[in-house]
Structure 1
Amino acid sequence: MEKGENRIKQEDCSEDNLGAGILTLTNKRLAFDKTNARIMDFSKHFGETVMDVKLDDVTKVWKEGLLMKKVCFTAKTNDGEQTFKFGVFNTKDWTKTIEKQIS
């Protein structure tokens, strides 16, 4: 993390296209790190950061789904606008917290 950056929320989850990992919200950005898990010793290790989006680049935040609820956001990236959909435990809280950090 950068100087002056504070972690707000962090959760082990899965993204539709990126797979399993850990979603982290700070006061400056949203990041998603892939994880490597081993069943034999129940360990989980951080892998590479596959998504790192500044909060200024997030254009829209919403939640969707009835049974499989997801927090979703659209952000400006180097490849144009991209939409990310994360299966987190409390979509309502994640949505509110992201919106609060953006404003």
Structure 2
Amino acid sequence: MDESEKRLKQEDCNEDTLGAGILTLTNKRIAFDKTRGRIADFTKRVDETILDVPLNEITKVWKEGLFIKKACIRAKTKDGEQDYKFGVFSTGSWQKDIQKAINDYKPQ
């Protein structure tokens, strides 16, 4: 993160296709860092950032699910648009915070 970037929200979660990791929302982007953990010694480490989307490239934000709820985004990629579905604790809160960050985003 650069010095003008501020972390707004962060949570351990699971993405449907990417697996377990840490979802981070900043005032400039949304990122997903893949994690690995070991049950034997209760350690967890961050492997790599596998999703890094500037807020101006997110085209849709929604939540879905009846029993297993997900906070979802649709992002522009080099191959078109891609949907990502994150199993976070409070889907409504994530949806509102992502949408607010997008509305407040001012590219530099």
- In structure 2, the residue matched to 1:102 is 102
- In structure 2, the residue matched to 1:46 is 46
Q: CA RMSD in A?
A: 0.7
Alpha-carbon displacement from aligned partner over 1:52-72 (angstroms, at most 9, x marks no partner): 000000000000001000000
Normalising by structure 1, we get a TM-score of: 0.97
Count, aligned residues: 103
- In structure 2, the residue matched to 1:7 is 7
Alpha-carbon displacement from aligned partner over 1:43-97 (angstroms, at most 9, x marks no partner): 1111111100000000000000010000001010122110000000000000000
Q: Distance in 1 between matches of 2:29 and 2:57?
A: 9
Normalising by structure 2, we get a TM-score of: 0.93
Q: Distance in 2 between matches of 1:5 and 1:41?
A: 34
Poorly superposed stretches of 4+, deviation over 2 Å: none
Instruction: Output the amino acid matched with 2:39.
Output: I
In structure 1, runs of 5+ residues without a counterpart are none
Instruction: Output the amino acid matched with 2:76.
Output: K
Q: Distance in 2 between matches of 1:77 and 1:3?
A: 26
Q: Distance in 2 between matches of 1:41 and 1:69?
A: 30
Same amino acid, percent of matched pairs: 64
Q: Distance in 1 between matches of 2:48 and 2:79?
A: 19
